[in-house]
Amino acid sequence: MPELPDLTVYAENLAAALTGKRVHQVAYHQRGKLNVPGAELSRAVAGAELTGVERAGKQVAFRFDNGNVVRVHLMLTGGFVLTDSRQLDRLRYPVLTVTFEDDAVLAVTDEKGWASVALNPADEKDAPDALAVTAEQLELLCRKKPRTLIKPLLLDQALIGGIGNAYADEILWTARISPKSAAGKLPAEAIRALADAIPQVLTDAIAELRKRHPDMVSGEYREFLKVHRPELKTSPTGARIIKENVQSKRTYYTEEQLLYQ
């Protein structure tokens, strides 16, 4: 599943390719989930100019000059495709296609059909974004969920927006906190280390993706991760990487990480 660094780069590249283009037509292909009838989505977006693309938690938001917003959650296997109208019949597993007046096409595809599209989703109280979460907010979350293990807490999008399975492992290794630690047992210094590790790991990953895969609008690239890679045997510091499930999530960690319980 794409995570915050992937989605940030997707949004940057989609914005560079599509901002300022006017929508000619929209087609919903009866795959995935849509919160309104397809005809309503088409009426809302057709004829509008795309004014911006941005990441919102683990979703990508498309903003139009008529005030409408379309949010896409790619879920596990969804992706974006940039193509043109001559290639529409070659798209595999389309969920949504947006054709612009210059014949450029943005498609959302998903083999599993789990991706979701939402027109003007209801306003919700957004969780703090992972790139902006503070030590004080983390401390409050740990107090609120004292028995929750720290890895599931980081993954809960209702609490912190943007972190997924792979980067949770990278963050916890950087902070030297075991993924099986109880959130309520973390001392102040561990919470500060976590608060420092979250933006460090995520911004470093964004920089790596921009450098290694500058045009990406889909896919997940993990070749630079330090512990969450199946082929790795040891961490960069030489510790053996332990691979096991933690509350159903495949987890990679080392004995360098302190267990608080």
pTM over 0.85: yes
- Per-residue pLDDT of 55-91, as tens digits, reads 999 999 999 999 999 999 999 999 999 999 999 999 9
Does 123 score more than 70 pLDDT? no
Output the average pLDDT for the chain: 96
Share of the chain above pLDDT 90, in %: 97
Does 125 score more than 70 pLDDT? no
- Per-residue pLDDT of 205-236, as tens digits, reads 999 999 999 999 999 999 999 999 999 999 99
The answer to whether 4-119 and 135-253 have equal CATH topology is no
Does 40 score more than 70 pLDDT? yes
The CATH class that applies to domain 135-253 reads mainly alpha
Does 124 score more than 90 pLDDT? no
Q: What is the mean pLDDT of residues 109-115?
A: 96
> Are 177 and 186 within 8 A, CB to CB?
yes
Q: What is the mean pLDDT of residues 107-133?
A: 91
Pick the CATH number of 4-119 from 3.40.309.10, 3.20.190.10, 1.20.1250.20, 3.40.50.360: 3.20.190.10
The candidate with the shortest Cα–Cα distance to 44, out of 62, 30, 32, is 62
**Structural domain boundaries in the chain:** 4-119, 135-253
Does 114 score more than 70 pLDDT? yes
- Residue 122 has a pLDDT of 84
- Per-residue pLDDT of 42-56, as tens digits, reads 999 999 999 999 999
DSSP bridge pairs for 84: 104
- Per-residue pLDDT of 169-199, as tens digits, reads 999 999 999 999 999 999 999 999 999 999 9
